Structure 1
Amino acid sequence: MKKILFALAFSAMAVHVSAQKVQFTEFDLDNGLHVVLHQDKTAPVVAVSVMYHVGSKDEDSTRTGFAHFFEHLLFEGTENIKRGEFMKLVSSNGGQNNANTSQDRTFYYELFPSNQLELGLWLESERMMHPIINEVGVKTQNEVVKEEKRLRIDNSPYGKFSENIFKHLFAGHPYRWQPIGSMANLDSAKLGEFVSFFKKFYVPNNAVLVVAGDLDLEKTKDLVKNYFNDVPKGAPVVKTQYVLPAITKEIIDTAYDSNIQIPAIMAAYRVPGMKTRESKVLGMISSILSGGGSSRLSTKMVDEKKTALQVLAFNYSLEDYGAYITLALPNKNTPLNDLLKDIDIEVARLQTELISESDYKKLQNKFENEYVSANSKMLGVAENLANGYTFHNKNTNDINEELNVIKSITREEIRDVAKKYLNKNQRVVLYYLPKK
């Protein structure tokens, strides 16, 4: 779904918290639906969310784009909600809603005034139990997805960089294609295939329902049971396990984009996934290299040498693996190889030298602030609780453990992780050039 901006009234209802423990109650229904409730009466707002453990990783290679397609399709209507009425019901009752899909999960949510909690629960139970999947809805959403792909990828500057990197970085794994998938695959799919995909993955035993905000715990438990107990349990969802051979030789490729005038150089490394401690260390490394104007790469390449218009380093963390990506756009026709060389020099510094104590303290403070900010609104709390259960071995309390893990990361670990994963023989280098 295209991003919907929250109304100013909801923005004003942001719930400010310090880095304190997030209290929650959790339980399972007989059909396998895991339920997490978080009470916070600071503001009269409630977030109702469902995270399904299904993303583009779960697709067949000849039917890519199904998970993202269902992100759209499940707004079409249900047996009790007329086609096109779902979002109208939300907005007419003072709420906002949206959904998003990644390689690993699909996340639906509504944000309501707390007196509309029951409406939010009914809407999500309808989506889970009574969706209408027919030719009309499939055809309609097929056109919507095609337009989204044209807007976000085909006609967007640098829109295809990730697919050009991931096809090499994750060869042999479904991460090699992007969540939006192939339009040809969607065009050729039959209605029965869409129905089968829904029945396999959009079942209560493959989902977690999180309700966070101004709620009464006992009443909410009763409402959840009332609306979700009758949803039929699906067959157990068995995830395919992928083990990729290590990259031992630098892979170099070139891609062309008619939407750009300024070329870019990118280097990507396959790294451990989000469940690991090392993934958090790589997030810290990103901050050191390009987290703000005073970061090492920005200071060196943008401010001092003025060879780059922009330089970035970030850890794209996924469930099975991650992609650590560095990229730079040249200033004044600086050769792309010169930019890559400067980035490599800073990476080598991290591999051989400990960061200073003052930089380490600054880093710790920054990540603590980001942690607090991420849990300062009910929707953020809801998503983080769902992430913990979905991706961290059903450990919903990961939301409270994450900050302690970050605080325990040492300067030596930062050096060692950089040395272990960010090496030239382990990467994909992509020259991303204007297409004449």
Structure 2
Amino acid sequence: MRISIQDRPISSSKQTDFMTRNSWAELARGLALALAALLFLAGPASGAVKLPHIVIHSFQLKNGLRVYMVEDHQAPVASVNVWYHVGSKDERTGGTGFAHLFEHLMFQGTASVSPEQFSDYIVRTGGVDNAYTTEDATVFWETFPSNQLPLVLWLEADRMRNLEITDPIFKNEREVVKEERRMKFDNPPYGTVIEKLYEAAFAVHPYHHMTIGSMADLDRASLGDIRSFYDTYYVPNNAALVIVGDIVRSDAEDLVRKYFDPVAAGPPISRRIPVEPAQQAERRLKLAQDVSLPAFVEGFHMPADGTPDSYPLRLAAKILSEGESSRIYRRLVYEKQVAVEAESSADFTEDPNLFFVFAVMNDGFAPERGLAEVATELERLENDPVSSAELAKAQHQILRTFIKGRETSESLADELGYDAVVLKDPELVNDEPARFLAVTPEDIQSAARKYFARENATVVEVYPRTASGTRTGRGEEKHY
């Protein structure tokens, strides 16, 4: 299950009357789902009430493209997702940032569609479109009036293999990505702290680097490198097409075959993702940065999403870190007042990833104090079973995410694509709620003991550059 969906900002210029014309239909849909939610959350003990079952129609073209469709006639709207099974973990050393760069390049035109015209087509129909990149996949999506499905499928089929990557376009988009890196990572206070955590926590697995890539690798990239990446991964046998909404299944299948059958398959993709060896001892890194307050981030290796241990750990993450009433925030910020900010995240992905806690300390408190308070909460989770009330609250938070994931064709298409491509089981859209409801306090306690061990931890401490003992040259790091 994909608990937190990537931020996909939509330009206000892409909001159209089409969205408001269907607001009443969406409201009715939301009310129906809200009623289902109330019934669902009221009856998990008996198991008598379930979310409505989503009927998924799937097939595969001869070129390897996998297709998943869901009919939903509550509003004259449809959503299309194209999931390419390529993310930052597929990038080689020295070639980071390519997957995210292609998120940009795929809007820059083909022989049939000029640069930026792709989105113009969608906007003129009254729709919206965008894309996002993760460690595991790159996703392009559109939501539009359902009678425009032929246009959207033609556009997606066209850019799947006909992208025109010229040197001026490549260089321009590379500069756009570099500026994005500056804005989101390099310039903000503490902006590179998570990046440093991943560099220290992963020795061989490509989760070692961030999806945005490094500035040096982007500068080194050549037009030939980029074209090779496109020819390897942007092929139908490495993609999945998801269509959800006001469609007739047989008609939609005919359209899919019309536009995508002619797209030639690429060579089989050989993935050699190295397995990260088990960490044997705590890793610690101290940084001096241009910040006003000390901070820390602590990460623990976690299993891949969809594995048995991921379900109790997801619930543990909710108990520890969901909102200001969560254990870690309440302890560090309210009760002990040692931190001005505290947050944590469980980054569950296709391969094992990290659960991490980040905190900015209050003036006069060192990171070590915050780490000690976090350790106290983790030990509490290991030693004392969570209460039935806490477990129920966490389960309800998870189930609310399932409910919201069905509110629109866009969110359902996204969830279905994730389950099909990353978790390799589209039926998890229907099956996962029961897995979360089956988790017991003892399951959470067992998982906490297994994964929140000191030898499984990586810690990055951040100190103001003027702090005693840490006044060093720009960017200096100390490993312990």
TM-score normalised to structure 2 length = 0.87
The DSSP-based 3-state class of the residue aligned with 2:227 is helix
Q: Helix, strand or coil: the match of 1:118?
A: helix
* Matched AA of 1:190: S
Q: Choose which of 417, 425, 431 in structure 1 pairs with 2:455.
A: 425
1:246 shift after superposition: 1.4
Which residue in the other structure is 2:476 paired with?
none
SS in 1 for 2:197: helix
Q: Is the 1:164–1:255 Cα contact (8 Å) retained in structure 2? A: no
Q: Please give the alpha-carbon distance, in whole angstroms, between the structure 2 residues aligned to 1:434 and 1:374.
A: 41
Please list, as runs of the form range in 1=range in 2, the aligned pairs for 1:402-417 lying within 5 A after superposition: 402-417=432-447
Q: Which residue of 1 is the match for residue 234 of structure 2?
A: 202
Task: Please report how far the alpha carbon of residue 298 of structure 1 lies from its aligned counterpart in structure 2 after TM superposition.
Answer: 2.4
Compared CA separation, residues 5 and 277, structure 1 to 2 (3 A): farther
| Alignment match, 2:284 | 252
Query: What are the equivalent positions in structure 2 for 1:180-259 lying under 5 Å apart?
Result: 180-258=212-290
* CA contact 1:283–1:314 (8 Å) conserved in 2: no
Gaps in structure 2 of 5+ consecutive residues: 1-6, 37-50, 467-480
Matches within 5 A, 1:32-431: 32-258=64-290, 260-393=291-424, 395-431=425-461
Hey, what's the Cα distance between the residues in 2 that align with 1:99 and 1:345?
40
User: In structure 1, how many angstroms separate the alpha carbons of the residues matched to 2:320 and 2:288?
Assistant: 27
Bigger mean CA deviation after superposition, 285-294 or 337-346 = 285-294
Change (3 A) 1:250 1:8: farther
* AA aligned opposite 1:415: Q
Letter in 1 for 2:326: S
Shift of 1:205: 0.7
Residue 434 in structure 1 maps to residue 440 in structure 2: no
The amino acid of 1:203's aligned partner reads V
Once superposed, what is the RMSD of the aligned Cα atoms? 1.8
Moved more, 422-431 or 272-281: 272-281
**CA distances 1:5-24 after superposition (whole Å, capped 9, x unpaired):** 57386374464234322221
2:472 corresponding residue in structure 1: none
Give the letter for the 1:344 counterpart: A
- Give, in angstroms, the shift of residue 263 of structure 1: 2.4
> CA contact under 8 A between 1:163 and 1:178: conserved in structure 2?
yes
Pick which of 106-115 and 10-19 moved more: 10-19
1:148 shift after superposition: 0.8
Q: Is the 8 A contact 2:194 2:297 kept in 1?
A: no
* Paired residue secondary structure (1:35): strand
- Asked whether the equivalents of residues 96 and 213 of structure 2 are also in contact (C-alpha less than 8 Å), the reply is yes
| Residues 368-426 of structure 1, C-alpha deviations (whole Å, 9 max, x = no match) | 11211122221111111111111223x21111111111111111110000000111121
Which residue identity lines up with residue 118 of structure 1 in the other structure?
P
**Map of 1:3 onto structure 2:** 9
8 Å CA contact 1:56–1:102 kept in 2: the answer is yes
| More moved, 128-137 vs 275-284 | 275-284
Ranges of 4+ aligned residues in structure 1 off by more than 4 Å: none
- Superposed CA deviations along residues 95-129 of structure 1, whole A, max 9, x for unmatched, are 11111111111010011121222221111111102
Question: Using the alignment, how far apart are the partners of 1:359 and 1:63 within structure 2?
Answer: 44
SS in 1 for 2:270: coil
Distance in 1 (alpha carbons) for counterparts of 2:144 and 2:190 = 36
1:280 Cα deviation from its structure 2 partner: 2.5
Q: Are the counterparts in 2 of residues 275 and 391 from structure 1 also a CA contact under 8 Å?
A: no
For residues 56 and 365 of structure 1, the distance between their equivalents in structure 2, rounded to whole angstroms, comes to 32
Q: Which moves more between the two structures, 226-235 or 276-285? A: 276-285
Q: Which moved more, 1:129-138 or 1:220-229?
A: 129-138
Structure 1 residue 2: deviation in Å? 6.8
1:273-330 per-position Cα deviation (integer Å, ceiling 9, x unaligned): 1131212222211111121222222222222222222222221112111101012222
- Percent identity of equivalent pairs: 34
2:68 match: secondary structure: strand
- Structure 2: how far apart are the matches of 1:434 and 1:334? 12
Q: TM-score, normalised by structure 1?
A: 0.95
Deviations 1:31-63 (A, max 9, x none): 110001111111121111100000111111011
**Aligned residue-pair number:** 434
CA deviation after TM superposition for structure 1 residue 262, in Å: 2.6
For the 8 Å contact 1:273–1:317, the answer to whether it is kept is: yes
Does the CA-based 8 Å contact 2:206-2:273 persist in structure 1?
no
User: Structure 1: how far apart are the matches of 2:146 and 2:462?
Assistant: 48
The answer to whether the Cα contact below 8 Å between 1:249 and 1:426 also exists between their aligned partners in 2 is: yes
